[in-house]
Amino acid sequence: MVHNRLLKEFRELCDPTKTDPDIELALEDEADIFVWSAQLRGPADSPYEDGLFKLHIKCPPNYPLAPPKVSFVTPIFHPNVLFKTGEICLDILKPDSWTPAWTLQSVCRAVTALLSHPEADSPLNCDCGAPLSPAILPLPAILAVCVCPPRSGPPSAGLLPHSAPCACACPQAI
């Protein structure tokens, strides 16, 4: 069942009518159908617009009955992402909220939606999530202070907080 479902999802990637132009999904190694990578384009009208973000996706042996493990490879400063590991806090990725109706493509769409609409109630990155309150600062204001513009370069280029090594010539970087 697992192989059939993942093979079906892999075949759908070859059909341009079923793919999302802002999401590129691929097998990391064609010999291992359980390990995937994705590249997401930052959603429009968000602090992540024009950024490119790489994800690592590991499907368990009982997928789709259990959710995949998804993490950011590209460093990203976001309330629901642990900066050091890329771990994502997203309800649909929890076993009690997961449903086999979700696909890897729909998981990537949910991660993209999370970039636009962070969940302040469950921050993994407390430095970014704690001030995320309408009474304090909205996310775009926080990121305007903490995030460099997108780096040019390879497809894994993304957005980095200023406390991390910055590859751009941003005058605000420390």
Unique residue bearing structure tokens 């970087």: 173
Query: Of 14, 59, 89, 126, which residue is the catalytic one?
Result: 89
DSSP lists the bridge partners of residue 23 as 40
Query: 153: which DSSP letter?
Result: S
User: Can you list the positions of beta strands (E) in 69-172?
Assistant: 69-72
In which order are the strands placed within the sheet that holds 69-72?
A: 23-29, 32-41, 52-58, 69-72
- The answer to whether 89 is a known catalytic residue is yes
Reduce the DSSP state of residue 68 to 3 states and report it: coil
Alpha helices in the chain (DSSP H): 2-13, 104-116, 126-129, 139-146
Catalytic residue IDs: 89
